[in-house]
Amino acid sequence: MYLIRLNINPVDKIFENKIYKNIIKRYYFYSLKANKKKFFPFFISNNIKNKSNYNSVRCEIPQFSTYHYQKLSKDKTQFLTGSKIIKNFYSTNNKENSNISFAKFEKMTSKVPQVNSLDPVVLPVNYTTPFDDVKVEVKDSGKEGCTFDDELILFLVHSASEKEKGSLKISSQIKDSKINEFLSNNDDMFNGKIGTSKSFYISNEKNKYVNLTFIRCGGVDDEMTECEIRKIVPSLVQVLHDNKPASASIIFEIDINESLFRFLLETVFYESIVDERFKSTNKAGNKNSSNSTNMKNLHIFLKNHNANYNKEVEKAKTFSMGIYFAAQLISAPSNYCNPVSLANVAVELAEKLNLEYKILGIKELEELKMGAYLSVGKGSMYPHRFIHLTYKGKGDIKKKIALVGKGITFDAGGYNLKAAPGSMIELMKFDMSGCAAVLGCAYCIGTIKPEHVEVHFLSAVCENMISQNAYRPGDIVTASNGKTIEVGNTDAEGRLTLADALVYAEKIGVDHIIDIATLTGAMLFSLGTSYAGVFGNDEKLINKILASSKTSSEPVWWLPIIKEYKKFISSRCADMNNIPTNSKASSIIASLFLNEFVQSTSWAHIDIAGAAWIFNDSKPKGFGVRLLSELILSHAI
């Protein structure tokens, strides 16, 4: 049995003695298994007797997880899909949320199509991490000294040079005589390159055993970078996971600036999470879960501490949750993450953060004449969904920004099938990484709530599949700005969806448009897996993105839009072709194509095809969440 909360509209309030009857008349549950309408008795709580408050009633229903909540309508029936969404939305005690129009929430969500009743209808998303309840304190290791009563103490130390031959000098003040004695007698304990670690179990002055672990970082003369931190974090996370301490300390014997300190924390928080959503052992309260933790306190000691480092801790927690949110969407298999279920999650996110939202279906997209976008998803059983979330900060709005993410939930390539070696069709669930980055940024911005800025989070979501309805090579489609496009290759679908999304974004009347997409495989070969490429028509905007890249530790490289190459997207029978006639400089030519759908607004395009996925670990990086969030927070106001 589950409890849910049903909002009662003002019409029902008028008929106080008929509320129960009205609910039974207007709502019923739909059995997925039996494919039949089923009525269930509603057990109204005592709230109904209190005539001063009819905002909501509590209803008890059996086997809630196998039923969809449905509202009767003369014209058509609409579904609220997913028990998780409904349970979260209607169990809220937030008065502000309780006044949200139920009709709007119902309209913006829809039933996920199924081939059979066993097909998933809910995209599971977790909104908590193992570090949410961990108290993190940052202190000065020089002035205050390192005083602790922890089970685990980690030292981040410089890698030894050839001259030092493994010598280990700890400059931090350790207020424990036995630990100090151990350190002074073992200053040559191990040689190690960056990322290597060594642990010792000793007794402290309180006669309690403590684990001292040393992790080698870069050399004394080496500048700490994002790449070095990515080498350090796996060892740090592994030690925390293996020991599961209730309390731990991390002592920085290295210098680290504020942005890299936050990046290290974000990476530790994110890398500590294991995605177990689709394992049969994934049950609430599972003590054997890889995500279970005993940690209550984490003490961090810095050599160059100031008050700003303390502020970075909460920001790191928010950013890491935004990254985790995005990563869950990217790593979810495409039978779970499809255009409809992804749009439903976007609505759920908007409700949690009190963002404005609307989801456009095929009818609305047809009215907007989004022929390029609509052509791509025709081969899929899942209908198109255009996501539009809006954040409006307090105070006078000084900047309006649109973030546009590519949202192809699975890219088979269409009739230009991804069949060639290296096409990585099995990985193509990640082709909505741009959309995930935008929604992850929505989480961060909606949580931090910056003032004087309005942000629109957009994504044209669909699948690129094969069927009798799919678009074909050689088709000519018309975008919403009236330009015609010859489909030279159905596997160049992302730019078609982005084309209509960019036109939509410009019509909103924003100051800047930034799109982010896994657009071209060429980016992997040109910049590798560490950097994303950025293109654009506004030098000032690109410089702001480059600055945000440094503070967010998500590297991007400015690449040119060479107008001379525009001839390579020409077509004999349409205004342009979606694929270049020249196989060279394809990332630049793709940005030239997108530029055709932005008239005069400041615009930048970020290609994350190489940076979105960690190939060695087979997991998403969540690239773009930090970058976009930092851009909004630091440069848009």
At 282-331, the pLDDT tens digits run 765 555 566 667 789 999 999 877 888 989 999 999 999 999 999 999 99
Instruction: Find the mean pLDDT for residues 229-242.
Output: 92
Q: What does the pLDDT read at residue 164?
A: 53
67, 90, 108 — which closes off a domain? 108
Question: How does residue 224 score in pLDDT terms, banded at 50, 70 and 90?
Answer: confident
Pick 272 or 11 by higher pLDDT. Answer: 272
C-beta of residue 91 within 8 angstroms of C-beta of residue 48: no
Which residue's structure tokens are 């929505």?
442
| 38 and 159 belong to one structural domain | no
> Do residues 197 and 75 both lie within one domain?
no
Q: How far apart are CA 518 and CA 525, in angstroms?
A: 13
Q: Please give the tally of structural domains in the chain.
A: 3
Burial track 112-148 (b if 16+ CB lie within 10 A, e otherwise):
beeeeeeebbbbbbeeebbbeebebebbbbeeeebeb
- Structural contact between residues 157 and 172, judged by C-beta atoms closer than 8 angstroms: no
Q: How far apart are CA 367 and CA 530, in angstroms?
A: 41
Residue 72: CB partners within 8 Å, gap ≥ 6? 26, 27, 28
> Are 342 and 265 found together in one domain?
no
- Contact (Cβ atoms closer than 8 angstroms) between residue 329 and residue 421: no
Asked whether residue 182 is domain-assigned, the answer is yes
395 plus 514 within the same structural domain: yes
Residue 399 has pLDDT above 50, yes or no: yes
Q: Please give the mean pLDDT across all residues of the chain.
A: 82
Which residue has 């279906």 as its token pair? Answer: 361
Percent of the chain with pLDDT over 90: 60
Q: Which pLDDT value is given to residue 108?
A: 63
Domain assignment present for residue 484? The answer is yes
Same domain, 75 and 171: no
Q: Which of 128-132, 482-486, 499-503 has the lowest mean pLDDT?
A: 128-132
Q: How confident is the model at residue 136 (pLDDT cuts 50, 70, 90)?
A: very high
What's the pLDDT score for residue 104? Answer: 54
What number of other Cβ atoms are within 10 A of residue 602's Cβ? 18
Strand partners, 135: 297
Does residue 530 form part of some domain? Answer: yes
Are residues 305 and 246 part of one domain? yes
Q: What is the average per-residue pLDDT within 512-522? A: 97
> Residue 169 pLDDT > 50, yes or no?
yes
To which residue do tokens 């996920």 refer?
Answer: 112
Residues 311 and 337 in one domain: no
pLDDT reported for residue 105: 54
DSSP secondary structure string for all residues of 194-239: TT-EEEEEEE-TTS-EEEEEEEE-S-TTSPP-HHHHHHHHHHHHHH
Q: Which of 146-150, 173-177, 510-514 has the highest mean pLDDT?
A: 510-514
Q: How far apart are CA 526 and CA 585, in angstroms?
A: 10
In this prediction, residue 170 carries a pLDDT of: 76
> What are 464's two structure tokens?
């690129």
Out of 166-175, 184-193, 236-245, the most confident range is 236-245
Do 305 and 338 have their domain in common? no
Rounded Cα distance, 89 and 365, in Å: 27
Q: Which amino acid is at 454?
A: E
Look at residue 312 and tell me if it is in a domain.
yes
Tell me if 113 is assigned to some domain.
Answer: no
Residue 615, number of CB atoms within 10 A of its CB: 12
| φ, ψ dihedrals at 439, nearest 5° | -70, -35
Q: With beta carbons less than 8 A apart as the criterion, state whether 309 and 262 touch.
A: no
Q: Report the percentage of the chain scoring pLDDT > 70.
A: 78
The CA-based diameter of the chain, rounded to the nearest angstrom, is: 88
What's the token pair of residue 622? Answer: 């969540």
Separation CA 343–CA 82 (nearest Å)? 12
- Residues 238, 264: one domain? yes
Residue 114 maps to a domain: no
Distances in Å between the alpha carbon of 578 and those of 338, 468, 596?
24, 22, 11
> What HEC string does 241-261 produce?
HHHCCCEEEEEECCCCCHHHH
Question: Is pLDDT at 43 greater than 90 in this prediction?
Answer: no
Determine which of 68-72, 130-134, 426-430, 573-577 has the lowest per-residue pLDDT on average.
68-72
Task: Identify the burial level of 419 via C-beta atoms within 10 angstroms of its C-beta, where 0-12 means exposed, 13-18 middle and 19 or more buried.
Answer: exposed
* CA gap 209, 205 in Å, rounded: 10
Q: Give the separation between CA 553 and CA 573, rounded to whole angstroms.
A: 45
3-state helix, strand, coil in the chain (%, to 5): 35, 20, 45
User: Which of 460, 436, 458, 455 minimizes the C-alpha distance to 445?
Assistant: 455
- Is residue 101 over pLDDT 60? no
- Residue 475 in this model has a pLDDT that exceeds 70: yes
For position 409, which CATH number holds? 3.40.630.10
Residues catalogued as catalytic:
418, 495
Whether residue 270 is contained in a domain is answered as yes
Say if 120 falls within a structural domain: no
Q: Residue 137 pLDDT > 60, yes or no? A: yes
The CATH number of residue 182's host domain is: 3.40.220.10
Per the structure, the complete domain to which residue 81 belongs is given by: 2-108
368 lies in the same domain as 495:
yes
Q: pLDDT of 373-393, one tens digit each?
A: 999 999 999 999 999 999 999
List of residues 6+ apart from 388 with CB closer than 8 A: 357, 358, 359, 360, 456, 457, 458
Instruction: Note whether 406 and 482 are same-domain residues.
Output: yes
Taking phi first (over 0 means left), then psi (-120 to 50 degrees means alpha), and beta for anything else, what does residue 603 get? beta
**Mean pLDDT throughout 266-290?**
80
Instruction: Assess whether pLDDT exceeds 80 at residue 165.
Output: no
20 has a pLDDT exceeding 60: no
pTM equals 0.83
φ, ψ at 587 (rounded to 5°): -70, -40
Query: Which residues 6+ apart lie within 8 Å of 38 measured at CB?
Result: 28, 29, 30, 31, 67
pLDDT at 188: 65
Distance CA 159, CA 163 (A): 11
Using pLDDT thresholds of 50, 70 and 90, give the confidence band for residue 209. Answer: confident
Average the pLDDT over each of 191-195, 255-259, 370-374 and give the range with the smallest value. 191-195
d(CA 487, CA 498): 15
Give, as one character, the DSSP assignment of residue 146. Answer: B
Do 96 and 142 belong together in one domain?
no
| Banded pLDDT at 50 (limits 50, 70, 90) | very low
> With bands split at pLDDT 50, 70 and 90, how would you rate the model's confidence at 107?
low
pLDDT digits (tens, 9 = 90+) for 335-360: 999 999 999 999 999 999 999 999 99
- In tens, the pLDDT along 619-631 reads 999 999 999 999 9
What is the pLDDT at residue 582? Answer: 78
- Arithmetic mean of pLDDT, 88-107: 41
Contacts of 267 (CB under 8 A, 6+ apart): 229, 230, 233, 320
